[in-house]
């Protein structure tokens, strides 16, 4: 199969229009991210054939499901796709096994086939197979819904804010299973979310949507590292670093290494050699012209200023830095930027106050 997904849609409603033309990778997780009303769900519905977009095109490699220029439009039931919505929508009269077997009955001929025991183990629901949906937690229901979608042997999995209806505890319960799917599935996943932490944890490719238009699309960190974005994305400014557990040190600290440096975090349970994603928000990074030794901030990394941009927060600027091969963002006051003479090419020390481990 070709490594590309092509999606071109124009949908006009009375109070909203969607106009996208995207080329996406045919593997890994692509996140459609943006505020409410940005067009994420409409785009996903167009991919599924639930919205017939004008002059549309949707193709997964050589498989074409819509090409209006050639009069091609496959209805949803003829597309080898799996869909997971906010609501699990399980059949209440069937046990977990029966819901999953319904997915098997819909299995397409062109997608990746999984066995029921394989998917049940992967999603941690093997012990629930005879339980009725009414006796499942919200997180368990969503895992069954994902299993049912995968057992339909889809060529692509479409997920529309699958964690939006869950409380924080249930989200933490299901995220490790989504990460496992990310690692082990060979089919592409399109993941709609307005939660930046979910996107940072799961996505490989990121599409930012605003008012029905894509304003950025590319590999996760290439997009996260941009500083000229609308205000709707300003509060979530930050980057993701792919690191490796290097050592568990004294004082309950773990050292994580990445090309360009290392950072310390509170001791984690993962063994040495484990790959971990870390999220560093711009508001948790401060800058100094020389490394600070008389400070409680433990993580100080050599960095080079790449660019500056104004923010919608009065008196603040966003600074794009390079630390080795990785981007890093810092939000500082305009006064500090002027006092330190922050400018492209300046070498300085980035002080990281907080690091979130994403798994």
Residues 169 and 316 placed together within one structural domain of the fold: no
Domain around 187: 4-224
For 33-83, the pLDDT digits (tens) are: 998 889 999 999 999 999 998 889 999 999 999 999 999 999 999 999 999
Higher per-residue pLDDT: 107 or 178: 178
The stretch 292-314 carries a mean pLDDT of 89
Say what the pLDDT of residue 243 is: 93
Q: What are phi and psi of 47, to 5 degrees?
A: -65, -35
356 by Cβ neighbours in 10 Å (0-12 / 13-18 / 19+) ranks as: middle
CA distance 185 to 112: 9
**Mean pLDDT score of the chain:** 91
The domain that holds 288 is classified in CATH as 2.40.50.100
Give the chain's domain count: 2
Same domain, 55 and 161: yes
- Residue 28 confidence (pLDDT): 93
User: For residue 229, is it within any domain?
Assistant: no
CATH of residue 64 = 3.40.50.300
Beta carbons within 10 angstroms of residue 119's beta carbon: 23
Residue 233 lies in a domain: no
Quick one: 347 exposed, middle or buried, by C-beta within 10 A (0-12, 13-18, 19+)?
exposed
Alpha carbons 140 and 170: distance in angstroms, whole number: 9
Mean pLDDT of 242-267: 91
Sign of the CA dihedral running 342, 348, 354, 355 = positive
HSE value, Cβ hemisphere, 13 Å, CA-based, for 343 = 3
The residue among 180, 197, 224 that closes a domain is: 224
Q: 136 pLDDT exceeds 70?
A: yes
Measured distance CA(122)–CA(143) in Å, rounded = 10
Residue 52 lies in a domain: yes
Give residue 105's pLDDT band: very low, low, confident or very high (50, 70, 90): confident
Other C-beta atoms within 10 Å of 71: how many?
6
| pLDDT > 70 in the chain, percent | 97
What pLDDT score does 1 carry?
A: 43
H-helix segments, the chain: 40-48, 96-105, 116-122, 138-150, 168-184, 196-202, 220-224, 334-339
Statement to judge: residues 251 and 193 lie in one domain: no
State how far the Cα of 264 lies from the Cα of 282, in Å rounded to an integer: 17
Cβ–Cβ < 8 Å for 152, 106: yes
Q: Which of 224, 257, 286 is the last residue of a domain?
A: 224
User: Same domain for 298 and 168?
Assistant: no
Q: Are residues 71 and 145 in the same domain?
A: yes
Kindly state the average pLDDT of the residues 217-225: 93
Digit-coded pLDDT (tens) for 180-194: 888 888 899 999 998
Instruction: Assess contact for 101 and 115: CB atoms under 8 A.
Output: no
Domain for residue 188, yes or no? yes
On whether residue 66 sits in a domain, the answer given is: yes
- Which of 84-93, 150-159, 229-238 has the weakest average pLDDT? 229-238
Residues belonging to the chain? 359
- 218 and 257 inside one domain: no
Q: Flag whether 208 is in a domain.
A: yes
The pLDDT value given to residue 273: 94
Answer whether residue 236 shows pLDDT above 80: no
What is the Cα–Cα distance from 24 to 206, expressed in whole angstroms?
Answer: 9
Closest CA to 35 of 222, 212, 238: 212
> What integer is the mean pLDDT of 154-166?
91
Identify whether residues 54 and 157 lie together within a single domain: yes
142 φ/ψ angles, rounded to the nearest 5 degrees: -65, -35
Is position 230 within any domain?
no
| Same domain membership, residue 35 and residue 101 | yes
Claim to verify: residue 101 and residue 135 sit in the same structural domain: yes
Confidence of residue 257 (pLDDT cuts 50, 70, 90): very high
Whether residues 215 and 245 fall in one domain: no
254 shares a domain with 202: no
- Note whether residue 105 is domain-resident: yes
Q: Are residues 119 and 262 in the same domain?
A: no
């Amino acid at each position: 199969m070709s490594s590309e997904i092509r999606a071109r849609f124009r949908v006009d409603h009375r109070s909203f229009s969607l106009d996208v033309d995207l080329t996406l990778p045919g593997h890994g997780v692509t996140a459609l991210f943006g505020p409410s009303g940005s067009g994420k769900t409409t785009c996903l519905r167009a991919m599924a054939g639930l919205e017939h977009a004008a002059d549309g095109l949707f193709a997964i490699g050589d498989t074409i499901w819509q090409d209006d220029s050639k009069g091609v439009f496959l209805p949803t039931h003829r597309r080898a796709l799996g869909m997971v919505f906010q609501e699990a929508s399980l059949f209440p009269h069937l046990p977990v096994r029966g819901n999953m077997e319904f997915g098997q009955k819909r299995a397409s001929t062109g997608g990746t086939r999984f066995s029921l025991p394989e998917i049940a183990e992967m999603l941690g629901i093997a012990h629930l197979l005879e339980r009725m949906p009414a006796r499942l937690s919200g997180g368990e229901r969503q895992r069954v819904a994902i299993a049912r979608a995968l057992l339909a042997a889809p060529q692509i999995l479409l997920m529309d804010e699958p964690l939006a209806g869950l409380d924080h505890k249930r989200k933490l319960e299901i995220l490790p299973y989504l990460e496992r799917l990310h690692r082990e599935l060979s089919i592409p996943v399109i993941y709609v979310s307005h939660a930046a932490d979910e996107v940072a944890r799961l996505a490989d490719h990121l599409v930012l949507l605003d008012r029905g238009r894509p304003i950025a699309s590319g590999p996760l960190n290439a997009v996260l590292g941009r500083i000229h974005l609308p205000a709707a994305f300003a509060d979530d400014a930050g980057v993701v670093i792919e690191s490796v557990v290097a050592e568990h040190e004294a004082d309950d600290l773990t050292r994580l290494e990445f090309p360009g440096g290392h950072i310390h975090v509170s001791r984690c349970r993962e063994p040495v050699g484990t790959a971990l994603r870390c999220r560093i928000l711009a508001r948790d990074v401060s800058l100094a012209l020389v490394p600070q030794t008389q400070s409680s901030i433990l993580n100080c990394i050599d960095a080079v200023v790449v660019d500056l941009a104004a923010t919608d927060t009065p008196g603040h600027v966003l600074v794009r830095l390079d630390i080795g091969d990785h981007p890093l963002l810092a939000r500082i006051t305009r006064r500090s930027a002027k006092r330190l003479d922050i400018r492209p090419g300046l070498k300085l020390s980035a002080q990281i106050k907080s690091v979130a481990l994403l798994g």
